[in-house]
């Protein structure tokens, strides 16, 4: 039985919010057929009155009309996001206000991508639910809709039958998780590989890479220190070492660092090390050598990597280093596992 997916768009919507998940579901069908199985998904894009709907990037998408299609039992109903003005306009649309809640309530699961959470919140579809949204929208969303629990960090959140994702590309991560639930992890991994994604990220991963987050929030004296950390991951990076580089006592360093970075030194350093390890593995570096290069003991490396990225270092290397090896000029070797 096909899983019917409908994605609601409107003038000025973010194109990737709709095309990203649609591509994941469509690619899942391709992967299933390649495995001699039946396709799983039937995908449609809907709008208030149907026809061509222009996205914020200028690309138009052909849609089916909510106004002429009565609400019916769907498996998945999703709302694409947009910038503030298009969101304001769609929330004035009487057809969307009347039909979208009925479509959502008749669906096995419903949700949004990016700031599409504002549509769900305005229609009282996520009261009492924990949700994700684009980092820039989280605080305005929480302020405007106090009954909604906004998770400012997660890239996507599953709360019962409500699925919501953070900014733009994270709709792909959420759709991959849906595919894993609907079919199996192996199919979702094949979809991620076919779409040449860097990694299939778990929902609790932060919207920002650890180093990017550190660069965005670092204040003197931590800015220079974080640059040094990035270049010296193989060294001992404990509190005494880092405090000495900043000229602070260990107690003052720990307190100030945690206040500025909103994370303990140990957790942030481990996250930066794991991100660096991911890059090295994608280049084909051996697992033990990768662990050594990023300063993590081999005994802890595999568990920490899988906890963060949802896949073992070995499987990640096998999946991602293959494409890197194909791109190498003839005669270049690769590192052994």
Q: What pLDDT band is residue 218 in, cutting at 50, 70 and 90?
A: very low
* Residue 331 included in any domain: no
Q: Is residue 244 domain-shared with residue 310, that is, in the same domain?
A: yes
Q: Is residue 70 domain-shared with residue 159, that is, in the same domain?
A: yes
Average predicted confidence (pLDDT) for the chain: 86
CATH of the domain at 158: 3.40.50.880
* Residue 252 included in any domain: yes
Q: Is residue 180 domain-shared with residue 217, that is, in the same domain?
A: no
Query: Which pTM value belongs to this model?
Result: 0.67
Q: How many domains does the chain have?
A: 2
Look at residue 45 in the predicted model and tell me its pLDDT: 96
Q: How many CA atoms lie within 13 A of 49 on its CB side?
A: 7
- Within 10 angstroms of residue 78's Cβ, the number of other Cβ atoms is 30
Q: 193 or 253: whose pLDDT is higher? A: 253
Q: Is residue 60 domain-shared with residue 155, that is, in the same domain?
A: yes
Look at residue 197 in the predicted model and tell me its pLDDT: 74
DSSP 154-182: BSEEEETTEEEE-STTHHHHHHHHHHHHH
Q: What pLDDT band is residue 74 in, cutting at 50, 70 and 90?
A: confident
Q: Is residue 133 domain-shared with residue 235, that is, in the same domain?
A: no
SS3 322: helix
- Per-residue pLDDT tens for 86-129? 999 999 999 999 999 999 999 999 999 999 999 999 999 999 99
Look at residue 189 in the predicted model and tell me its pLDDT: 83
Q: Is residue 122 domain-shared with residue 240, that is, in the same domain?
A: no
Going 204 to 210 to 215 to 217, the CA torsion angle's sign is positive
Domain that holds residue 86: 3-194
How far is it, in rounded angstroms, from Cα 106 to Cα 70? Answer: 11
Stretch among 30-39, 47-56, 117-126, 278-287 having the lowest mean pLDDT: 278-287
Q: Is residue 221 domain-shared with residue 187, that is, in the same domain?
A: no
Q: 10 or 261: whose pLDDT is higher? A: 10
Q: 267 or 318: whose pLDDT is higher? A: 267
């Amino acid at each position: 039985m096909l899983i019917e997916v409908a994605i609601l768009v409107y003038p000025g919507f973010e194109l990737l919010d709709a095309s990203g998940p649609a591509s994941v579901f469509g690619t899942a069908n391709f992967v299933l057929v390649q495995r001699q199985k039946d396709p799983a998904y039937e995908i449609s894009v809907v709008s208030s009155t149907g026809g061509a709907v222009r996205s914020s990037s200028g690309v138009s998408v052909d849609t089916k009309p909510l106004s002429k299609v009565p609400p019916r039992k769907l498996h998945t109903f999703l709302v694409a996001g947009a910038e503030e003005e298009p969101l304001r306009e769609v929330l004035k649309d009487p057809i969307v206000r009347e039909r979208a809640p009925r479509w959502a309530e008749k669906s096995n699961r419903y949700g949004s991508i990016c700031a599409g959470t504002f549509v769900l919140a305005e229609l009282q579809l996520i009261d009492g639910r924990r949700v994700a949204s684009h980092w820039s929208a989280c605080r305005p969303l929480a302020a405007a809709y106090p009954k909604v629990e906004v998770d400012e960090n997660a890239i996507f959140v599953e709360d019962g039958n409500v699925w919501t994702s953070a900014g733009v590309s994270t709709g792909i991560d959420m759709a991959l998780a849906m595919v894993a639930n609907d079919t199996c992890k192996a199919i979702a991994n094949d979809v991620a590989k076919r779409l040449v994604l860097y990694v299939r990220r778990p929902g609790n991963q932060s919207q920002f890479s650890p180093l990017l987050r550190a660069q965005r929030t670092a204040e003197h004296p931590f800015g220079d220190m974080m640059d040094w950390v990035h270049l010296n991951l193989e060294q001992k990076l404990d509190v005494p070492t880092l405090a000495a580089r900043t000229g602070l006592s260990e107690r003052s360093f720990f307190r100030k660092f945690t206040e500025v970075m909103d994370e303990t030194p140990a957790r942030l350093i481990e996250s930066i090390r794991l991100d660096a390890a991911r890059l090295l593995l994608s280049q084909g570096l051996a697992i033990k050598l990768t662990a050594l290069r990023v300063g993590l003991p081999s005994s802890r490396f595999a568990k920490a990597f899988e906890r963060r990225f949802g896949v073992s270092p070995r499987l990640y290397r096998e999946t991602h280093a293959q494409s890197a090896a194909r791109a190498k000029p003839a005669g270049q070797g690769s590192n052994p596992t």
